[in-house]
Amino acid sequence: MINGVSNIAQVSNGTIEVNPVNLKRALPDLNSLVKIEVLEPVKDSTFRITVNGSVFIANLPILAKKGDEFFANVFGHNPFTLKLDGFSQTAMNNLYAQLLTDFGLDKNILTKEIFGKINSFGKSFSKAKMKRFEEFLKELGLEFDENQLFLLVNLIWNDSPKDFDEIKSVFKKFLSTSFENLVAAIYQKMKELNTLNLPNRIYDELNKTFMFEENDYNNPAKVKLLKSKDEEIVNLMNSIDSEEYLLQEHKRGLNEFFELIVKYQVQKEVYSTFNVFPDFIFEKNENDFAPVIYFVSLNGNSVNVTIKFLLDRLEANFAAVTDHLVLKRNESKIFKGLEEKLLKIFNFSSFVYEEITANKYSIDRVA
């Protein structure tokens, strides 16, 4: 939650502070919605603002600049405190219409559901951020799942306007495919690679990196892969480099596989910025394997694990929305062990994720 806007004193002629306790009747009602406009910075995080037209001095807990506009909820009178996030459902119903009208937003793009998600992510309703968000959605024209929406909202709300073009570029190139659909595409490509006559060393590295069986919980090296596959992926790519003279005829398929792996690594890096760690394993079952996706999120000392099991055999069209990705928890032999292991290995207060960029890998590695 964003800390409330507090230490507010009404001012006369922009210079004389007046004790707000003596002005209770002039203050907006408790729990009412108010509009804030930033007039100018005073010092550090202190700004001269208007609240429903009246001028105040306030410490703002968010990045702000002259001309910014926000909506807030009156949280207290003594001291006069405004809450910028975590609106109740009743407040959201009233706020939605006001945001559309006052900020000139398109209800066909910024739906009630999207507003609700922004509120649940603990973000303020800033005009500048909302307009930028609307512009992004218009330009991309994409359907987002909740995890992509979480990423996009955090990227836009956490960065300054000068970073907006970079955010758009990274999102288009690496994040426009949801993590679930990306794993489904990697699964499809793995199936294709299994039909090729690749050197055994390559298949050994693929199995070592991605395959997981029930008895692997007793193998520390395999358990380590649940948190990070970086080292194994580098080894896999080095193995392919060393066999390149044998792989000329499979260059296209391997390059496509590399592209997917780079997207996978970049997505993990971006998610980790916001303490969310997505990953996957392929659960091996006799002669077949099936994708298991998990998201681990850290919030202070709490760890939350979400696991999704995809059908043993997915439909060929992985570009479709994830309606075809069906949970298979009851059929999985590794579910209970997986959740327990993930809770243990992520259950500490700080998590340092090795920075990985697209430049670390060459898409066209097979000459």
The answer, yes or no, to whether residue 188 has pLDDT greater than 80, is yes
The answer, yes or no, to whether residue 365 has pLDDT greater than 60, is no
Give CA angle at 106 (105, 107), nearest 5°. 110
233 sits in the region (left: phi over 0; alpha: psi -120 to 50; else beta) called alpha
Using one digit for the tens of pLDDT, what is the confidence trace for 211-266?
A: 998 888 888 888 888 988 988 998 888 887 777 666 677 777 888 898 999 999 99
The pLDDT-based confidence of 59 (bands split at 50, 70, 90) is confident
Q: Which tops the pLDDT comparison, 160 or 290?
A: 290
CB 325 within 8 Å of CB 312: no
Q: What is the residue-averaged pLDDT of the chain?
A: 77
Per-domain boundaries in the chain: 6-83, 89-175, 179-360
The pLDDT-based confidence of 303 (bands split at 50, 70, 90) is confident
The answer, yes or no, to whether residue 161 has pLDDT greater than 50, is yes
Using one digit for the tens of pLDDT, what is the confidence trace for 129-155?
A: 899 899 888 887 767 788 999 998 988
- Does the pTM exceed 0.95? no
The answer, yes or no, to whether residue 12 has pLDDT greater than 50, is no
Long-range contacts of 314-318 (CB under 8 A, 24+ apart): 314/184, 314/187, 314/188, 316/188, 318/181, 318/184, 318/185, 318/188
State residue 6's pLDDT score: 56
